[in-house]
Amino acid sequence: MATLHPFSAYVRYRKNSVTKHGVHSPFVFELITEVFPAEKEDILPEHIAEDWRTECFLNKSVINVTDLGTGISGPRKISDIAKHAAKKPKQGQLLHRIVNHFQPKKLLELGTSLGITTLYEATATDFEKFITLEGCPETAAIAKKGFERSSLNVEIRIGDFGKTLKDALLSLGKVDYVFFDGNHREEPTLDYFETCLPFSHKDSVFIFDDIHWSAEMESAWEKIRQHPKTRLSIDLFHFGIVFFREEQLAREHFILRF
């Protein structure tokens, strides 16, 4: 059963994951000690992303959600989307810390939803350009309100990623940071990855959401981490992180306790 997959995957993850004491890479050791620790969460007790989450929690308005990834669409309360679809504070704050650590200037996000995660990312760096892609017009309209309220110049583009992704990449020129959270199926995930690769550089950071959500997503993650351009990958269970460090001759893969 698909619903049991994340549980069995988590059991495997816990069995195979290591702490900082099992890491010998200076690059990764710095991340695991300075960026990843959960106790770092208390540095953002009143972040604007949580203000926006609370507002969405309280919003009982119904919008017509168009899910181009699953093909399942229909009416949903904004409060339900905020409760069930939005990233948890722990995950949002981790993304904030990652962005804050690497200070990317050109950012791309696939899957805006209500914009809660976007707010965490956008407030962590003085970006030159941030484009976020969303397939559902009504969901995007809600997210846009959150960006405007926070005075963040995040550009949101609406439509099927197969049509909007390439143009977004051309607008950015090169990407320093990409967060893939738009379609939890293997073929589209790999296609988006390959589309973004020519716009990456040796210091780019690619983050994939829900890499253990299903056997299909685990297969996609396995192919991504074994791609010839991937020099270093980190499995944090909820997120998979890829680096293209050309100076790193030996390919490395870490499963880290988070």
The answer to whether 168 and 131 are in contact (CB under 8 A) is yes
Other C-beta atoms closer than 10 Å to the C-beta of 91 total 17
Q: What is the pLDDT of residue 71?
A: 57
User: What is the share, in percent, of the chain residues with pLDDT greater than 70?
Assistant: 94
pLDDT (average), residues 3-10: 85
Of 85 and 31, more confident: 31
- Provide the CATH topology of domain 2-45+88-255: Rossmann fold (3.40.50)
Tokens matching residue 231: 């020099």
Assess whether pLDDT exceeds 90 at residue 202.
yes
Given strand 155-158, what is the order of strands in its sheet? 155-158, 129-134, 106-110, 177-180, 205-209, 239-243, 232-235, 252-255
* Domain chopping of the chain, boundaries: 2-45+88-255
Cα(119)–Cα(122) distance, rounded to whole angstroms? 5
The answer to whether 186 and 216 are in contact (CB under 8 A) is yes
Q: Is the pTM of this model over 0.85?
A: yes
Assess whether pLDDT exceeds 70 at residue 48.
yes
Assess whether pLDDT exceeds 80 at residue 41.
no
Q: What is the pLDDT of residue 175?
A: 98
Which of the four pLDDT bands, split at 50, 70 and 90, describes residue 101?
A: very high
Q: Which residues partner with 242 through β-bridges?
A: 206, 233
Q: What is the pLDDT of residue 20?
A: 86
pLDDT (average), residues 132-161: 96
